[in-house]
Amino acid sequence: MVDPSDYAADGGGGQGKGPGLNGPLTPPVKSVWLDAFNDPVAGISAYTPCIHTCNLFGDGENRLVIADEDRKLKIWKGTTKASEHPLLDTPVAITSFISDNAHPRLPALAVAAGSHIYIYRNLRPYYKFVLPPENVNTEEQDIWQKLMEGEVVVGDALAQLTRLQDAGVVLQTRSLQLMNIGDPDAKMGFVEHWQGQPLVATTVITCMDVIKQSLDEPDAVSCLVVGTESGRVLILNAAGTAIVKNIWIGITPAMIAIQGELDVGYRITVAGRDGKLYHIRNGELQQTIIQLEAQPVGLVRLVKHVAVGCMNDVIHAYQPNGHKSWSIYLPTHILAMQRMEVTGQRMTKALVVSLANGEVRVYNDKLLVSIHSVPNPITALWFGRYGREDNTLISLTKSGMLDIKMLPRTANLEAGSVGGGPPPEQEIPLAEIPLAVPKKTRLYVEQTQREREQASDMHRTFQRDLAKLRLATARAYVKVLTDGQGAAAFSTSSNTSLSLSLSVTGLGPRFRLTLALRNEGGRQMLEVPVALRADPGLYTLGRTQFTIPLLVPGLQYSFEVPVTMVDPNAAPGAITVLLLAAGGLPSSAPLLQATIKMPFSEPEDI
C-alpha cells in the first residue's frame, strides 16, 4: 500500500517520479533554515499561545517573551535570558498590542491567566482587566440562599441541585464541588466555608489574539480578542479596559483565528471544544458551521483559507463559505501549527507544522517546501521578527530546549521552486497534442439531431427516473434501518435515540464481530443489556449477552465479540444483535435489532 506521506503534494517529503515512469527521481525536500541558536538546557515549558516576540522598549530590537507554566514571564534578548518576572496565575495566552497613536509607539504586553488579563508597559504592571461575571440561574441561587440561612438541609439541597442538572441547567463550580463531596461532615464544612458569600458565576479565558482597529500595519492600533469558558468571544477596546463587543457562541472556544480590521470588516474563525468551526463576521455569528472529523489541535488563518489540524493527523483548509479546498495527510500526530508570513523580496504566507516524530514542515498551500527534524517533539512554535531579523522561527521542545532558526533572504518558498506542481506533461501546449477525433457517421448525425429536437423531453424523463431511483433507494435504506434485517439499525423514540452498526473481521474460522453503538439522544443511559443470537450448529459466540454500564450522549462505543465457526466447510449463516431496554425502562420489544451475514470461512491451517 502506498503511503500518502511519500509525496510532497499530499503532505510528505518523499521522492517522486520525473516525466516518465522510468524517468529520474526528483530530490527529496530539504530544509531552508539556517541554525542561529540552540539551548538544550533552557528549561522552558510552554505552548504556542504562550510564546511571542515584540519590540518591548522601542529600540527596534524584538525580544522573546515566554509565559512559562511555572508562572514566570521570561524575557530573552539575543542568545541570553534578560529577566524573569513572576505571574499570579498559570498563563493561558500572551500577545502584544498597540493601544494609542502616541509616539514612540510602544506595544503593551497582555498576559491572559484565569479570569484576568494582566497588561504590562515597559515590563511593568500597568492594568488588570477582569472578565465580567456571568448570570447565575435564579433557582440555583435560591437553593444556596436557603442553604446558607438554614431553611433546607444539605441533603435536600443536593437533591434540588441534581434535579436542576438533569433538567439541563449548567451549574456553577461551587455546586458541582458540593455534589462531588462524599463525606457528610466534609459537606457541612464546605457549606460553612462559603457562609455569607453570594453565588457568583465566574469564567476563565481559554484563548486570546489581537485584531487591527482600522489599518493593517505592524504599528497600527489594535484590540484584544478573548474567548471565555462560558462560550463567549469578547472584543476589548484599544486600551484593553472595556468590552466593545460581546458575541455569544454557546460552545467554549479552544482557538481563534482573525482576519481583517475592526472598523472596516473582519472575520473570526472559532474552533470549539465540540469539534466544530464557527464563523463570526462583523460581530454576527454566521449560520455556517463546519463539523470536523476529529477534535482540532491547531487553527491558522491563511490568505484565502483557514487551516485546521485535527487529531486524526490531517490538516484541512476551508473557505469562508464552509467549502473544503484541500487536505494534507500527515504520517503522525500534529503538535503545533503556526502562520509563517515571510517579509522581504518575496512575500509569502505559508504554514509551519510540528509533528510528534520531531519533524517541522513548511507548506505553501498544500505543497511541502521545507522539512527538518529536531531531537525532541516540538510543543510551541513562533514565526516573526526576533532581534533585528525579520524571518525567524522559534521553537520549544518537550524537553525544554529553545531552538532559533533564520530564513535566508534568498530562500524561495514558491510552488515551482521545489519541484512540485503538475507533471511536465501538462506543460505541453494544447495545440501540439494530437487528438484522435473519430469521423462523424450518418447514425451519429441523426442521433445528434434527435437529441437537439427532443432535449427537453429527454431531460424531463431522465429527472423523473432519477427521482424514482432516489426514492426507492431511500425507502430501502430506511427499511433496512428500521426492521433490523441489515448490519445497521437506528431507532428514535420519545425516550431514546440509538444507532448500531455491525462489522466482521477475519478470514475464518475465527472471526471478530465489532459492535459500534452511539447514543444519539440528549440523556445518558444506564445498564443497557445486549443479547446475541446465532445458530449453535454453525457458530460459537464468545459471549451471548452482556450489559453496557453507561452510554454517554454523542460518544461512539465499540464492543468486540469473538466468533468461531464450528464447521469451516459449511455454508455461512447470520448473527443477530438485540439491544434491550435499559434498566428501569419497561419494554416488551428490543430497542434495536441488527443482523449481519457472516462471510465464507477459510479452512483452518493445522
Question: Considering Cα of 246, then 248, then 254, then 258, what sign does the dihedral take?
Answer: negative
Instruction: Name the grid cell of 375.
Output: 531531537
In percent, the amount of the chain with pLDDT more than 70 equals 87
In this predicted model, which residue has the larger pLDDT, 225 or 151?
225
- 594 close to 502: Cβ distance less than 8 angstroms: yes
Give a yes or no: residue 310 inside a domain.
yes
pLDDT in tens, 268-283: 999 999 899 999 999 8
- What is residue 127's three-state secondary structure? strand
Give a yes or no: residue 79 inside a domain.
no
In this predicted model, which residue has the larger pLDDT, 605 or 331?
331
Predicted confidence at residue 492, as pLDDT, reads 65
Predicted confidence at residue 587, as pLDDT, reads 62
For residues 113 and 246, membership in a common domain is answered with: yes
Helix (H) / strand (E) element for 359: namely strand 359-364
Facing residues of 84 across strands? 74
Confidence of residue 490 (pLDDT cuts 50, 70, 90): confident
Sequence-separated (6 or more) residues with CB below 8 Å from residue 246: 232, 234
Q: Which of 256, 259, 253, 257 is nearest to 275 (CA)?
A: 253
Predicted confidence at residue 245, as pLDDT, reads 92
- What is residue 128's three-state secondary structure? strand
For residues 462 and 525, membership in a common domain is answered with: no
pLDDT above 60 for 382 = yes
Confidence of residue 569 (pLDDT cuts 50, 70, 90): confident
Confidence of residue 7 (pLDDT cuts 50, 70, 90): very low
Predicted confidence at residue 21, as pLDDT, reads 36
pLDDT in tens, 211-255: 999 888 888 899 999 999 888 999 999 988 899 999 999 889 999
| Whole-Å CA distances, 253 to 21, 227, 231, 250, 374 | 49, 6, 6, 9, 31
For residues 206 and 104, membership in a common domain is answered with: yes
Give a yes or no: residue 282 inside a domain.
yes
pLDDT in tens, 153-208: 888 888 888 888 888 787 888 888 888 888 888 888 888 888 888 888 888 999 99
Predicted confidence at residue 333, as pLDDT, reads 93
Q: Which of 231, 260, 291 is the last residue of a domain?
A: 291
- 395 close to 403: Cβ distance less than 8 angstroms: yes
Instruction: Name the grid cell of 163.
Output: 434535579
For residues 113 and 18, membership in a common domain is answered with: no
pLDDT above 60 for 320 = yes
Q: Which of 480, 508, 539 is the last residue of a domain?
A: 480
Helix (H) / strand (E) element for 452: namely helix 442-453
- 174 close to 199: Cβ distance less than 8 angstroms: yes
Q: How many CB atoms lie within 10 A of CB 379?
A: 20
Q: Which of 534, 488, 542, 536 is nearest to 510 (CA)?
A: 542
| Cα 234 from Cα 255, distance rounded (Å) | 13
Average pLDDT for 490-500: 74
Report the CATH number that the domain containing residue 502 is assigned in CATH. Answer: 2.60.40.1230
Predicted confidence at residue 563, as pLDDT, reads 93
Q: Which of 100, 22, 11 is nearest to 359 (CA)?
A: 11
| Cα 394 from Cα 297, distance rounded (Å) | 19
Contacts 24+ apart (CB under 8 A), 402-407: 402/37, 402/38, 402/39, 402/42, 402/44, 402/76, 403/37, 403/38, 403/39, 403/374, 404/36, 404/37, 404/38, 405/33, 405/34, 405/35, 405/36, 406/33, 406/34, 406/36, 407/32, 407/33, 407/34, 407/342
Give a yes or no: residue 236 inside a domain.
yes
Which residue is associated with the grid cell 477459510?
602
| Cα 268 from Cα 212, distance rounded (Å) | 12
Q: What is the mean pLDDT of the chain?
A: 84
For residues 494 and 589, membership in a common domain is answered with: yes
Predicted confidence at residue 423, as pLDDT, reads 47
| Cα 521 from Cα 585, distance rounded (Å) | 16
| Side chain identity, residue 176 | L
Instruction: Name the grid cell of 203.
Output: 469564567
Give a yes or no: residue 604 inside a domain.
no
pLDDT above 80 for 119 = yes
Please calculate the CA angle 183-188-192 and round it to the nearest 5 degrees.
145
pLDDT above 70 for 427 = no
Give a yes or no: residue 71 inside a domain.
no
Q: How many CB atoms lie within 10 A of CB 200?
A: 12
pLDDT in tens, 345-373: 667 788 999 999 999 999 988 888 889 99
- What is residue 51's three-state secondary structure? strand
Predicted confidence at residue 296, as pLDDT, reads 93
Which residue is associated with the grid cell 498551500?
365
Question: Considering Cα of 11, then 12, then 16, then 21, what sign does the dihedral take?
Answer: negative
| Exposure string for 131-145, b = 16+ CB within 10 A, e = fewer | beebeebeebbebbe
Predicted confidence at residue 484, as pLDDT, reads 57
Overall number of domains in the chain: 5
For residues 213 and 158, membership in a common domain is answered with: no
For residues 359 and 490, membership in a common domain is answered with: no
| Cα 205 from Cα 113, distance rounded (Å) | 7
| Cα 447 from Cα 450, distance rounded (Å) | 5
In percent, the amount of the chain with pLDDT more than 90 equals 36
For residues 173 and 217, membership in a common domain is answered with: no
Which residue is associated with the grid cell 500518502?
4
For residues 235 and 383, membership in a common domain is answered with: no
For residues 388 and 261, membership in a common domain is answered with: no
What are the phi and psi torsion angles at 387 (to 5°)?
Answer: 70, -120
Report the CATH number that the domain containing residue 271 is assigned in CATH. Answer: 2.130.10.10
Average pLDDT for 424-439: 56
Give a yes or no: residue 447 inside a domain.
yes
Structure letter (DSSP) for residue 366: T
What are the phi and psi torsion angles at 427 (to 5°)?
Answer: -80, -10
Helix (H) / strand (E) element for 139: namely helix 138-149
Predicted confidence at residue 526, as pLDDT, reads 86
Helix (H) / strand (E) element for 35: namely strand 34-39
Q: Which of 11, 86, 121 is nearest to 362 (CA)?
A: 11
Average pLDDT for 16-42: 65
For residues 146 and 187, membership in a common domain is answered with: yes
pLDDT in tens, 33-92: 899 999 998 889 999 999 999 988 888 889 999 999 999 999 999 889 889 999 989 999
Average pLDDT for 125-141: 87
Give a yes or no: residue 514 inside a domain.
yes
For residues 559 and 501, membership in a common domain is answered with: yes
Predicted confidence at residue 593, as pLDDT, reads 85
Give the range of the structural domain holding residue 466, as residue numbers without chain letter: 442-480
Q: What is the CA radius of gyration of the chain?
A: 31
Average pLDDT for 485-503: 75
